[in-house]
Structure 1
Amino acid sequence: MTQTTAGRDLDPVTFEVLRRGFDYACERMSQVLQKASFSPIIYDMVDFSNALFDADVELIGQTANCPIHIAAMHYSARASLEEYPKETLSPGDVVVLNDPYLGGTHTPDVTLTTPLFHGETLMGFAVSRAHWTDVGQSLDTHVAGEGLRLPPGKLMTRGEINPELVSIIKNNTRTPQYIDGDIQAQLAALWACRDEIERLTNRYGLDVMREGMREVLDYTQERTRKAIEAIPDGRYEGADYMDSDGYSEEPVNVRVALEIKGDRIHVDMTGSDPQVMGPINSPLANTASAIYYSLKFFLDQNAPANAGLYRQVDFTIPEGTWLNPVWPAPTIGCTTAAASKITAAIWAAFAKAIPDRSIASTYAEGNWFNASVTDPATRETFIFADLPAGGWGGTPFNDGMNVTMDPLGNCQNLPAETAEMLFPLRYNAFEMITDSPGAGKFRGGAGVRLVVEFVGHGQISTMESSRTRAGSPGTNGGGEGRRQKQLRRKADGTVESVGGLSDSGEWLPQMLGGVQFKPGESFVFESGGGGGWGSPLERDPDSVAADVRNDLVTVQSASEVYGVVLDEHLAVDQPATDARRKELATAVRG
């Protein structure tokens, strides 16, 4: 919907204080949630997001936690308000929701919404979304098999919690010990936002606060308009794919066209594959969120992150595709499988529109896996999860980041110390993989090898992994990153593939469901490297030598890929390097 940017009434100082105050309220939410939560996936892995919305449910402020959450949260809030209209809400009311087909994304992401009042006037809404350790989810062909789905429901009424609803939630999880603590932590986050907004309102007054909310949206809209105008008009196409949905061996494709016209962008997902049997389907809220944050990277990065950006973006996402499925398609892999592919496709399209600012593909996965392990002494079963990150793509200015979470989130891996303290596991390795970065003038970032040993019987489900057929593509002549691998290391040390492409060339569906591990066996996940940017023959030879010394590149690859010959001290042999690069360049031209 096109809106006209109105004039500015606030002086610059007041505007900036309010803008920063809105973001600070969300930062306080995240600080409280992380410190008070009970689940490792929240307090250590930072898989949560918090945001402030105005009375019209427009995003005003947020914390930089999981981008895939943020632009989807207004769908959840609006679905909650359809069930509980604004005029029926009171201070202390909290609505809970996680249904993927009612504004949610996947079932573990649970969203709490509360109204913010100043006196009797509704100021806006505080919204907190956190990934709960377990809501009974599993890989299934029906969304009902993915765990407890909550339509909008009153978790709290006028400050009084609903014990019956909490009991239902605890009865549908394998980790009830976390539920009370995580609920209280999310509620505390909501109250932190309420208190900060009340302080601002007491200081500046209701009218100034409302004006500040309007102006931050208009400000971002104006900056976004100018950023889009700087991109040449045209239609630019990009594509990517999931290796499979876990049930078929066929790739699942996402196709996107960016249509730039003046100060607007239309994102057209027509041509993407139909919804699939496996659990990678992306509900509308998730796909829209992925579109918005993917565009943000190439628009005005310094503009406040709020709904002002949404005003300049239109999209077409055909219903019945895997990017806008209809009930009951399973969706548990949407946040870190589908979202990654949407981003990769949009970035590929931008590489054609603005090649001087293009970025090679990241490893493009969340690589979220869930696992259970039984303590051999007590027979107690534990649930844990991890997110082994990979390499980002090279840019026109620098190398890609090593072992960094995909653009969909700022989550972190599960620390080995936490894992071994809480669960019957041993984290035996977490190491960067040599020769995993895609080669280039600016190489990609490195992937990581994670080795998790089961002390008791265990099983693994990997819900968002791909790049096992081929690695992350480079751009502008850059090389491909190393593909991802999922392996089993047996107690005798032998290694076999459990998903993806084996060394013998056999490919198995990479979406694993309930793969069993015996005591003493290890799950080995090797994440991918980022794609390279530009020709490897243009890379500074001293940088190649430094990569070899840091075990990111082998001596053999330095010579065969980069054309850099090193002496016995791993320093550049410049005459030999000049000859080698000339030889390689001639071979390429030939």
Structure 2
Amino acid sequence: MTIGPIELEIIRHRLEAINADAGQTLVRVSGSQIASEASDFNTAIMTADGTVVSCSKFILVQSTSLNLIVRDILDCYGENPGIGPGDQFLTNDPYLGTLHQPDVTLVAPIFDGERLVAWAGSTVHEPDVGGPVSGGFNYAARSIFDEAIPIPPIKIVEAGRIRRDIERDYLARTRTPELNALDLLGQIAANRASERQVLELCAAYGTDGLVEAMDRLLASTEAAFRRRLADLPDGVWRENSFIQHEQRSGADYLPNQVYAVRLVMAKTGDKLTFDFTASDDEAPGAVNATYPTLANFTMAAVLVHICQGLPWMPGAIWRTIDIRTRKRSVVDAEWPAGVAMSTGTSAQAIRNCVSGCLARLLDGSAAHAHMAMASSQSSGAGGMSISGHRLDGSPFTTLFLDELSGGGGATCNADGSDTSGTATSPGATPSNLETNEAYYPVLYLTRRELADSGGPGTHRGGVGALHAYRPHQTERSIALLSMAQGLQHPATMGAAGGEPGLPSGFAIMSNDVPVAGSKGWSDLADVTDLRLPDAATRLHPDQILVTSSQGGGGFGDPLERDPMSVATDVLAGLVSVGGALRDFGVVLRLDGDQAVIDHAASVAERQARLRARLGGREPRKAEGPVSGRRLSSHFRAVASPAGEQVVCASCGHGICNAGASLYASLVVHEAAAGERSAITDRYPGSERFRIRHFYCPSCARQVDVQVALAGDPVLEAMEVPAAHQPIEARR
């Protein structure tokens, strides 16, 4: 059958529908709330060589490098144990292709007769996969041998039948064999559903027709993506992100050390290069990322930020991307480094770096600036493994994903979505709290949106949420292993001068504290001793655990936000009256169900802040749109007798010559990491971080905000090359 353009689109949409159906099949069969409630899984369809041609949109990072797993199986198992119809292979090896050991992947070859046509795959985060600590995470891990030992690909289904010996070995490793067994059945059923429907496409269009269609879809998506890249400006952008974990020197522990992920991104023509080689050395613990994790989180950010309106087809996009890294670094660990906690630590820093650079790239294009988006929430203290015993003595362990209630990033024309979760996990969500209570001995006291947590900006970042629960129907304490990131500094960055979202929060307090009636951390900060969670953290029956997820980053200068929008947020409970003044310079009061703005006082307040940004000088008035080559929302390049010059897009002030250091020519103000937070500065280690605000030296417009280590040099986040200077020469 001839595959024309119409048939090609039908097949593309059919592959997406097959993936969605596989996901629903998995959820219906699975008994774990991690899959059925939080949607911590994903499915994919690949070509015969493992190239991912279609993936679901639940946890994107779980499927964009499945090609690495399939490639290994094809290379190693062709003769022994062989690859045949009805087979399925299981692995959770993060050095091979999964994210970390709790993510268990199952891939299945799809044969039409004796011909290998495609592969189906699915990944689910399991509540436990063995190792010395319940849940699969171990703060004290010195290497992977202190974690769950990864399983290389094993044929667990052979010719359509589950191999009971392999299944028995797999389930013997876990503390939750019943749930893992149900997830396994769900994944097997999902892959079989995909196989059946792919073979229906073979029957409808011919096997050759389907294979040709998949190849053409990959080629056309690659071509479309290359055209989009070619439309974007060439340049170099930088972003840094930070995680905390212990370091060791011999037998000594050095708690709460900082590891930096540093990215230099270059776009040249129709190719993107992500250079992570300046990132810190790997940690002697569980927070390192393997190369597959680095690749997955990089690709997921590219799909979300640049592929708007294009098919999300990782196999096509990989052909345009070059990742440069360094072995034995925190983003590319070498066996046997510990990696089980990577998805909530180093991997989030990777995503934040990629998202930040892509936002700067897109903001530099007049045609595509509307796609630029600030960072969404990062992993935080609300993501944790909990374990213990119920009242009847039976053990439990699971993963709570309350952190997935964080805010989305703002854009140039819209606020971020409130409590929307992580952008690269668009289908994931916190479990229903009543489901958590039904499965486990906890009682929730509150789950609600957290005012003032969204990053301030011309457009506000989405707000995060506050959660609180206590042990219930158990007389024993509950062990808590929190990812504990983003407590000491903001982890979700703004864009184009927007502020970061509020950092995470974590506290254990007495159960007589009226958490449910509080306004948030401003009411709770003084009633508890704020400490960083560690391997010994436990929640006792007379205590409450309170956590908060992060807000999304804002977009644009907060002093340029429409006061009416601020008033609307105040009425909705998303911004407090005090936050309206502190974050946006808007003076208002509540009068019944109305927010009354004092416009004269607001104008005076904003003007005073602009003068303060310039050390008391009167700011220059904006002159209207400034012509010239667009560099970002805030900068233009214009011709001058001395060569091309960078000017402010708002007031036209000449800032520096092209090729000079842009950021050294701006006014910079440093603030404490917790400048907007009631609790951040109370966590040990927060004093090491600074928030750097950059202003136009003439009109005082806020043009960038960076999180940095105290004493680090200013990050040249955007390079403005001299005319005709090649990109390669500047990296």
Out of 608, 612, 631, the position equivalent to 1:583 is 608
Out of 315, 331, 334, the position equivalent to 1:323 is 331
Local SS of the residue matching 2:65: helix
Local SS of the residue matching 2:180: helix
- Partner residue in 2 for 1:138: 137
1:367-382 to structure 2, matched below 5 A, reads 367-376=382-391, 378-382=392-396
Deviations 1:11-34 (A, max 9, x none): 111111111111121111101001
1:527-538 to structure 2, matched below 5 A, reads 527-538=549-560
- Partner residue in 2 for 1:491: 511
Partner AA of 2:398 in structure 1: F
Local SS of the residue matching 2:255: coil
- Partner residue in 1 for 2:71: 78
Q: Specify every segment of 5 or more residues in structure 2 that has no aligned partner in the other structure, as ranges.
A: 131-135, 248-253, 516-523, 617-731
Partner AA of 1:302 in structure 2: G
Query: Computing the radius of gyration over CA atoms, which structure comes out larger, 1 or 2?
Result: 2
Deviations 1:170-217 (A, max 9, x none): 222111221322211110001100110011110110111111011110
User: For residues 477 and 147 of structure 2, what CA distance do their matches in structure 1 show?
Assistant: 20
Local SS of the residue matching 1:528: coil
1:319-398 to structure 2, matched below 5 A, reads 319-355=327-363, 357=369, 358-365=372-379, 367-376=382-391, 378-387=392-401, 388-389=403-404, 390-398=406-414
1:65 Cα offset (Å): 1.3
1:255–1:242 CA distance, 2 compared to 1 (3 A) = same
1:482 maps to 2:496: no
- Partner residue in 1 for 2:148: 147
Deviations 1:446-483 (A, max 9, x none): 11111121122233444533211122333333223222
1:412 Cα offset (Å): 1.1
1:309 maps to 2:317: yes
User: For residues 505 and 36 of structure 1, what CA distance do their matches in structure 2 show?
Assistant: 43
1:72 Cα offset (Å): 2.4
Contact 1:238 1:255 in 2 (8 A): yes
Partner AA of 2:213 in structure 1: G
- Partner residue in 2 for 1:103: 97
Partner AA of 2:428 in structure 1: C
1:353 Cα offset (Å): 2.9
User: For residues 446 and 31 of structure 2, what CA distance do their matches in structure 1 show?
Assistant: 26
Local SS of the residue matching 2:307: coil
Deviations 1:382-428 (A, max 9, x none): 21221122122222111112122223323211211111112111011
1:278 maps to 2:285: yes
- Partner residue in 2 for 1:57: 50
Q: Which has the higher contact order (CA 8 A, sep 6+)?
A: 1
Contact 2:294 2:331 in 1 (8 A): yes
1:30-45 to structure 2, matched below 5 A, reads 30-45=23-38
User: For residues 438 and 108 of structure 1, what CA distance do their matches in structure 2 show?
Assistant: 32
1:461–1:509 CA distance, 2 compared to 1 (3 A) = same
**Structure 1 outlier segments of 4+, above 6 Å:** 501-507
1:573 maps to 2:574: no
User: For residues 341 and 65 of structure 2, what CA distance do their matches in structure 1 show?
Assistant: 15
1:426 maps to 2:474: no
1:86 Cα offset (Å): 7.8
1:244 Cα offset (Å): 3.0
1:505-544 to structure 2, matched below 5 A, reads 509=532, 512-544=534-566
Contact 2:477 2:541 in 1 (8 A): yes
- Partner residue in 2 for 1:243: 244
- Partner residue in 1 for 2:484: 465
1:434 Cα offset (Å): 1.4
Shifted more, 33-42 versus 147-156: the winner is 147-156
Shifted more, 89-98 versus 366-375: the winner is 366-375
- Partner residue in 1 for 2:422: 406
User: For residues 505 and 184 of structure 1, what CA distance do their matches in structure 2 show?
Assistant: 45
Contact 2:44 2:63 in 1 (8 A): yes
Out of 48, 51, 54, the position equivalent to 2:41 is 48
User: For residues 603 and 146 of structure 2, what CA distance do their matches in structure 1 show?
Assistant: 60
1:350 Cα offset (Å): 2.9
1:196–1:270 CA distance, 2 compared to 1 (3 A) = same
1:182–1:337 CA distance, 2 compared to 1 (3 A) = same
User: For residues 421 and 560 of structure 1, what CA distance do their matches in structure 2 show?
Assistant: 41
1:555–1:502 CA distance, 2 compared to 1 (3 A) = closer
User: For residues 494 and 434 of structure 1, what CA distance do their matches in structure 2 show?
Assistant: 18
User: For residues 490 and 83 of structure 1, what CA distance do their matches in structure 2 show?
Assistant: 56
Q: Specify every segment of 5 or more residues in structure 1 that has no aligned partner in the other structure, as ranges.
A: 1-8, 496-500
Contact 1:243 1:251 in 2 (8 A): yes
Contact 1:255 1:269 in 2 (8 A): yes
TM-score (norm. length: structure 1)? 0.92
Contact 1:68 1:335 in 2 (8 A): no
Partner AA of 1:195 in structure 2: R
1:588–1:66 CA distance, 2 compared to 1 (3 A) = same
1:153 Cα offset (Å): 0.9
Partner AA of 2:469 in structure 1: V
Partner AA of 1:466 in structure 2: Q
User: For residues 93 and 561 of structure 1, what CA distance do their matches in structure 2 show?
Assistant: 58
User: For residues 286 and 570 of structure 1, what CA distance do their matches in structure 2 show?
Assistant: 47
- Partner residue in 2 for 1:192: 193
Local SS of the residue matching 1:586: helix
User: For residues 24 and 36 of structure 1, what CA distance do their matches in structure 2 show?
Assistant: 18
1:38–1:148 CA distance, 2 compared to 1 (3 A) = farther
Partner AA of 2:129 in structure 1: V
Partner AA of 1:259 in structure 2: A
Contact 1:319 1:326 in 2 (8 A): yes
1:503 Cα offset (Å): 6.7
1:521–1:80 CA distance, 2 compared to 1 (3 A) = farther
Deviations 1:522-564 (A, max 9, x none): 2211122122211122111111011111111111221233222
1:453 maps to 2:470: yes
1:508 Cα offset (Å): 5.1
1:571 Cα offset (Å): 2.5
User: For residues 563 and 166 of structure 2, what CA distance do their matches in structure 1 show?
Assistant: 63
- Partner residue in 2 for 1:255: 262
User: For residues 503 and 466 of structure 1, what CA distance do their matches in structure 2 show?
Assistant: 22
Partner AA of 1:424 in structure 2: P
User: For residues 459 and 605 of structure 2, what CA distance do their matches in structure 1 show?
Assistant: 19
Shifted more, 33-42 versus 469-478: the winner is 469-478
Q: How many residues align?
A: 575
Deviations 1:103-140 (A, max 9, x none): 22211111111110111111011111111111121312
1:509 Cα offset (Å): 4.7
Shifted more, 570-579 versus 518-527: the winner is 570-579
1:506 Cα offset (Å): 9.0
1:492 Cα offset (Å): 3.7
